[in-house]
Amino acid sequence: MFIMKLLRRFDEDDSVRSILTKTASDLSKKLSKLTMNDSHKSYSNALKVLCQDSRIVTAITQLQSFYIADEPAPSIEKNTFLGPFFHISPLQPEITLEYFSKAKTMNPRMINTAQETLRMTSQAHQRDLLEIINLFVRASVFSRNKTLDWFAYVINSNEKRRALRPDPAILSTDGFLLNVTSVLDGLCTPFMDSTFSKIDKIDIDYLRRNPRINIKKETKL
């Protein structure tokens, strides 16, 4: 396989690192222009192949575009590396027009079929996202920290969503945040089983130290 041949030269040839990170970056940029109606899965699959090697994952998280600290909430899903992968969602306006443009004339069976199709597609994409993020958090300490920094920035940048009437113009889209929530829930699965047998693994003092999530304005009970 061509990628495997390149990886053999990864540590000794800087151009290989540049080629692979640019390939990953190009995947992200091209995906940012697509919707769930397009062939988005090939981009997720390609990234999963690239990220099988922890050195590539670490190199990707070192890209300037991976985590941009001053990126406005609405453009995080377009201009950061992971953003376009999380942007793909059945809540994109183009999807609504495609599946429900004539909702008033659709019978209940057609509506249910469309809803189920979108639900299954969304769940499959969220599984792909969780697989990708697991590769990022397990590749190295650096890549894990950068990935968590990205998630924290997404959450902190959207703090105004808790308002009674949030302004969508200054926030990330619902579909993007739904995917973020799904993946974060998935990351918690190993220590949040139904019997809470591993709940002791949660550091109850974390928020008292130097947390990534800003809770200064949150109501504390």
Q: What is the DSSP string of 76-131?
A: HHHHSSSHHHHH--TTSHHHHHHHHTTGGG--HHHHHHHHHHHHHHHHHHHHHHHH
In this predicted model, which residue has the larger pLDDT, 47 or 207? 47
In this predicted model, which residue has the larger pLDDT, 184 or 217? 184
pLDDT in tens, 115-126: 999 999 999 999
Contact indicator for 137, 195 with CB cutoff of 8 Å: no
Kindly state the tokens that stand for 58.
Answer: 């670490």
Phi, psi of 39 (to 5 degrees): -80, 65
Whether the pLDDT of residue 185 is over 80: the answer is yes
Name the average pLDDT for the chain: 89
In this predicted model, which residue has the larger pLDDT, 24 or 9? 24
CB atoms within 10 A of CB 151: 20
Q: What is the pLDDT of residue 134?
A: 97
Question: What span, in angstroms and rounded, lies between the C-alpha atoms of 68 and 71?
Answer: 6
DSSP state of 70: T
Contact indicator for 24, 60 with CB cutoff of 8 Å: yes
Q: What value does the mean pLDDT take over residues 33-40?
A: 92
Contact indicator for 157, 172 with CB cutoff of 8 Å: yes
Question: What span, in angstroms and rounded, lies between the C-alpha atoms of 127 and 145?
Answer: 21
Domain locations in the chain? Answer: 7-208
Contact indicator for 48, 3 with CB cutoff of 8 Å: no
Q: What is the pLDDT of residue 177?
A: 97
How far separated are the first and last CA of the chain, in Å rounded?
Answer: 56
Using the CB atoms, write b or e for 68-83: b if 16+ within 10 Å: beebebbebbbbbbbb
Q: Which H or E run includes 157?
A: helix 141-157
Q: What is the pLDDT of residue 212?
A: 85
Highest mean pLDDT: which range of 93-107, 120-134, 152-166? 120-134
pLDDT in tens, 70-79: 899 999 999 9
Q: What value does the mean pLDDT take over residues 91-112?
A: 86
| The amino acid at 52 | Q
pLDDT in tens, 150-160: 999 999 999 98
Question: What span, in angstroms and rounded, lies between the C-alpha atoms of 129 and 119?
Answer: 15
pLDDT in tens, 84-94: 999 999 999 89
Q: How confident is the model at residue 3 (pLDDT cuts 50, 70, 90)?
A: low
Question: What span, in angstroms and rounded, lies between the C-alpha atoms of 87 and 30?
Answer: 12
Question: What span, in angstroms and rounded, lies between the C-alpha atoms of 95 and 89?
Answer: 8
